[in-house]
Amino acid sequence: MTIARTQAAGGGTLLPEVLEFTSSLSLDRALLREDLIGSLAHLTMLSRQGIVPKTAAKLIRDGLVALWTEQAAGTLSLPDDEEDVHMAVEAELTRRLGDPVGLLHTARSRNDQVALDLRLHVREQCAEVLLLLAALIEQLAARGEAEQDTLLPSYTHRQRAQPITGGYLFASYAAMFTRDVQAFLFVLSQLDALPLGVGAIAGTSLPIDRDVTRSLLGFTRTTLNGMDTVGDRDFALDFTYATARVLLHASRLATDVIDFCSGEFGFLKLDTSISFGSSMMPQKRNPDVFEIIRGKSGRAVGNLMGLLVTLKGLPGGYNRDLQEDRQPLLETGTLVRGVLSMLTLVLPRITFDRDRTLQAVTADASQATFLAEVLVKSGVPFRAAYKSVGALVRACQEKGLKLAQATPDFARVIDERFTKDVLAAAASAETAVAGNVSQGGTGPDSVRVQLETLRNLAAEARDEVTRIPRLDALFSSLKEASL
């Protein structure tokens, strides 16, 4: 019978099948950079506290820097017979440097080590996502600026509602994504506590200084309680929730594009560079990329649900069940970055058929609400105005007329207050769009304010990213930090 060894932990008698089943190494190799950063900071603190001699600390640091350099060059090979990336790094360092490497894990457990690695990973992912969200919001605002003269119907219950502009539509999409910016900023605020230094569960008797490590890694505070710290994955839940939500928003946008480029709507045209043909029907051009964006939102929701179920019912402290956080958490960043990058690539390659959208706006009575409000301005109670306009719309439909074609003689049979001036005020969709001057409405001035606000929020998101400690910058400072 072959016995597996876990080298960094001093060997063992694990069956190979057991090691393979319990190992997370294939997944958490993705945490290598975070693990090296955390080890460099921990080692620096141990040396400054006099717990590890400076000569040994210098030797180990050089070894960690070499691993970083090799991983950056794509030449690093770690042992694959370890439980996780943390043990694989320690095993490789031990192979290279010998017994002094044993000092590195002083006052540290894999429990607080992985808690740190995951926080560093989520923090880095949040920075990248925020930059992508800022770029998408800026793009949507620019597109909104360009489409302010494009008239089209809005929809409630997927029925034509009121006339809007393309500028207003794109502002609505961008507004969704600004809330996602806030969600990821909340994630950053929640994870901004250093977990390292609490050990396996109860801290250490050694004279460590967690504030030294906290400062080196760019956290603003330390976690409060070790038992809570090692079992805490709330920051991971926050991140997977924020990701699920941004992909739900992307899915809603994608659904509009899918519908609007169909023959039934005909509002949008897809560039041939982003549309797909059918393997059987030669006339088809399909919005596959938007359907896949919509489909990926399901994976994001699944990752959130999986993590919630993993955490449900766990007792206090660390439990190995938490290893199951790797798949949903490590996939999530890649998933959201891929979708946001794809949206910014394909959205400039869709165009409105303005004749078709205008025809849809003017085909029926989408300006009916505006006409009712014209009556309200003359002193008619809204509900009475609503009933009169509704009766006029039905009368027009029975005669095969558009609302804009109703004459004063025809309309006054229903309500004598439908004068020539009242009907003229609501005769066109353009007038109805321009007339909604309230904040957040379709009026040109309101839309301009919305677009400017969106651009400012995107700029603020970019500014926030500059304050996030990034892995490359941390490595640059830690490799030169005083020991």
* Active site (catalytic) residues: 157, 278
Per-residue buried b or exposed e for 33-52, using 16+ beta carbons within 10 Å of the residue's own CB = bbbbbbbbbbbbbbbbeebb
CA 446 vs CA 5, 172, 440, 443: distances in Å: 67, 13, 6, 5
Tokens for 479, please give them: 């490799």
Backbone angles phi, psi at 52, to 5 degrees: -120, 130
Alpha-carbon dihedral sign for residues 301, 303, 305, 308? negative
Collapsed DSSP state (helix, strand, coil) of residue 379: coil
Burial of 465 (0-12, 13-18, 19+ CB in 10 A): middle
Look-up of token digits 């869709």: 350
Burial of 332 (0-12, 13-18, 19+ CB in 10 A): buried
CB-CB contact of 134 with 458 (8 Å) = yes
Tokens for 417, please give them: 């207050």
* Nearby residues of 253 by Cβ (< 8 Å), 6 or more positions away: 173, 176, 343
Tokens for 247, please give them: 């992909």
CA–CA separation, 475 and 328 (whole Å) = 26
CA 270 vs CA 10, 194, 260, 280, 350: distances in Å: 60, 48, 10, 20, 5
Among 405, 407, 430, which Cα is nearest to 420's?
407
- DSSP type of residue 14: B
CA 229 vs CA 46, 156, 360, 418: distances in Å: 21, 46, 57, 70
